[in-house]
Structures are given as C-alpha cells and as structure tokens.
Amino acid sequence: MKPFSFVLLLAMLLVAIILQSCGGGSDKAVNGSLTLTTPTVTGPTGGYYTVSSTLTYTPPTGKDPNGLDVKVTMGGVSKTIYLDSTGSYVLTDYVAQTTSSVVYTISASTGDLTSSVATILEGLTPLNASTSPILFASTDAAGTVKTTTIGGGVSPYAVSLDSTSSSDLVISLSGTTLSITKTSTTGTTQKSGTITVTDSAGSKITILVYYY
C-alpha cells in the first residue's frame, strides 16, 4: 500500500471514530434512552388546542447529545429536530378542535430508540343556548329582562336581532350571558323576534323571542 493511501485511510478512520463519539444521527444505532412526557393540553382557545410534550434523550455516560437528530411525529405530521447539549426539546403543536373526540399521538425515534405518548382531545360541543325560546308574559312590564347562556361552538360569540323587533327589544352579550330586555308593551297580541348567535367558526343558531 502506498504511504499516501495509508495516510488517507487512517484519516478516514479517525473521522469515523470522532463522528461515532459525538451525538450522531438516526442512521446508526444510538445508545442511551429516549422519553416523552405525558402531553399537556390547554384550551381550546379560539377553536384550537395547544399540545405540548418534552422529549429527553439521555446519552451514555461521557457522551454529548449535541447535534443528535430525532424524527418526531405529532398528530401524523413528521419532522426532524436536532438536540443541543441538554438533550431536551419541548414539542408544541396547535390542533384544531373537531366535532368528535380524537386520540392525538406523539412519537419520537432515533437509531433503535423509540418513544410514544398519546392523549384525547375532546370534540366540539355544538353551539347552543341554555333557554330557547325566550318567553315574556303578557304581564311583563317594559324593562323586564330575560337571560340565556350561550355555550358550545367556538367563542367568542356575536349576536344580532332582526330589525322588526328592534323597537321592542334590546339584546346584549356579556361573555356567554345573553340578555334580552323588553323596552315596550305592545298590547295583548303576542309578537315574536329572532336572535341570531354566531360563533367564531361561523356556526349559527337562532333563538326565538315571544313577547307582548
């Protein structure tokens, strides 16, 4: 073997040894342990859950995890992350709430090491009103107030009253409490109005109001 070839081979071997002693990548066996914490779920806020989990790679004694690549899959979407010398990485995802509950899974792998955790994301409750229709009695004087609570859907909510009833009724929304105030007495003939409630996702419900 020529001296130059021997030196080149020795240099290549030295580089391989150095790379193996570092964090390394997922294309070769990785010793140590890989864990994911139980997912933390907050929300939904504005129709989205925030899901978080901390990934931790613990290398063998004397090894540095810096630069180790880990394949992570969150809710079916995969990506590759690279660890720093701490070996930890906080994973966060924003997941739209759906009409039915779903099992949300987080998995991670590097080399022969794998870890997986899951949580349940509750489905969306349909937009609703606690009391519907709203009934005013013929004896209710002007200034009488009725209330109903808006729930489900995606908050915040918006409300509107049909134009034909606006001279007899006033509506206001504070958080989830909808107040309907009768502003006049119309006589003995029952009348009706329609309130439309719209959530932030565009869903709508109508609440009928009967009054005199």
Cβ-contact 194, 162 below 8 angstroms: yes
> Lowest mean pLDDT: which of 4-18, 140-154, 198-212?
4-18
Tokens describing residue 59: 């290398």
Task: Identify the three-state secondary structure at position 166.
Answer: coil
Residue 10 has pLDDT above 80, yes or no: no
Cβ-contact 109, 128 below 8 angstroms: no
| 57-81: pLDDT as tens digits | 999 999 999 999 999 999 999 999 9
Mean pLDDT of 81-95: 98
| Eight-state DSSP code of residue 100 | S
Q: What is the mean pLDDT of the chain?
A: 88
Tokens describing residue 38: 């139980």
Grade residue 20 by pLDDT with cuts at 50, 70 and 90.
very low
Specify the pLDDT at position 29: 57
Distance CA 176, CA 199 (A): 11
Cβ-contact 44, 78 below 8 angstroms: no
Distance CA 210, CA 190 (A): 7
Amino acid making up residue 101? S
Distance CA 157, CA 204 (A): 10
Burial zone of 62 (CB within 10 Å; 0-12 exposed, 13-18 middle, 19+ buried): exposed
Mean pLDDT of 37-45: 95
| Eight-state DSSP code of residue 141 | P
| Eight-state DSSP code of residue 186 | -
Round the CA-based radius of gyration of the chain to a whole number and report it: 31
> Lowest mean pLDDT: which of 1-5, 44-48, 82-86, 125-129?
1-5
What structural domains and CATH numbers belong to the chain? Answer: 25-121 (2.60.40), 128-211 (2.60.40.10)
Residue 26 has pLDDT above 70, yes or no: no
